[in-house]
Amino acid sequence: MGFLSLFFKSGRAPTHQSLPPALFPTREHSMSTGAWASSIQDLVESDECRLRRIVHCKANSRSRDEFLLIYIRHPSGKVATVLASRDTSFDPSSAHADEDMSLPHPAMDMRALGVAPSRDRIRLSSDGTAASLERHILSGWGETHTVKFSKSKAPSVAHLAVLLTVVHRHVMSPGASAEMRSGWFAYCVAEVMREIFLGESKPNKKWVRVPYGGMKVGDRDTVGALIREFTPAWDKFSRGQVARLVVRYVFARKPKHEEDKKAKKKAEMDSFAHMLRNMES
């Protein structure tokens, strides 16, 4: 999708004022992965925002929840820090309250099935560092595993957004603990990205990362299954992104087109008036 950035680019380098709120909010912000993916779909430079590394973390608290810290480099050179996690402590009746269900991916209607989807969430750092996110994990955390990407093969933030929408559709057994479900989420996102984009895996010698959060999973909930789901989801996301950005481009140009028409009409009237004055003289 690199042509999108060239098509819409203004010709100047991004400045601090033009940094996208989807990655650099003015204040710390949290939203569902579906809503975040929708905002990334509207981001012109999404294909140029590349993942540097994904860090799989485990909280030191009694819950032992697992989550990801994801570092994303914007073309301006600034780095955004995103915390992605599966939050299982929510009210099922409001599971879709802040979802953007217009996001063009084949989302499963969990409510119709009588099953509450897991609430996968994104938390954005206000200053681009993990430090501003620490207050949400009061007991601190340990880094169990890191996946690094080379500049030439790094996935874009759009790839991440699509994967999160795919993972969101997978709901674990109600018998699985919150720790296991959060572990499955973190493990799968990191491993799918590593497999597809040939990331370098670096385990922490002091911590042990348990595959799938220690759960016994069926074939449809494995890394391989998620990889197979990724390609059609990516294709659909890409087509939707092109359509949305073209609509924005057309609407942005419409006022200028109207101004050009008015200016042309005024010039014609001025020319006609000038001709009449010459005839009278």
Tens of pLDDT, residue by residue over 132-151, are 787 766 577 889 999 999 99
Question: Angle 177-183-185 (CA atoms, 0-180°, nearest 5)?
Answer: 110
The residue range of the domain holding 261 is 2-280
Domain count, the chain: 1
What is the longest distance spanned by two Cα atoms in the chain? 96
Q: What does the pLDDT profile of the chain (281 residues) look like in tens digits? A: 454 544 444 444 444 458 999 999 988 889 999 999 999 999 989 999 999 999 999 988 777 899 999 999 999 999 999 999 998 654 444 444 344 333 333 333 444 434 445 589 999 998 888 887 877 665 778 899 999 999 999 999 999 999 999 999 998 887 889 899 999 999 999 999 999 999 999 999 888 899 999 999 999 999 999 999 999 999 999 888 787 777 766 766 666 656 766 677 667 666 756 666 676 66
Q: What is the pLDDT of residue 132?
A: 79
pLDDT (0 to 100) of residue 277: 67
Whole-angstrom Cα distance, residue 135 to residue 132? 7
Structure tokens at 266: 């005024």
Q: Give residue 39's pLDDT.
A: 94
pTM: 0.76
Sign of CA dihedral 58, 64, 68, 69: negative
Q: Is 72 in contact with 56 (CB distance < 8 Å)?
A: no
pLDDT digits (tens, 9 = 90+) for 40-52: 999 989 999 999 9
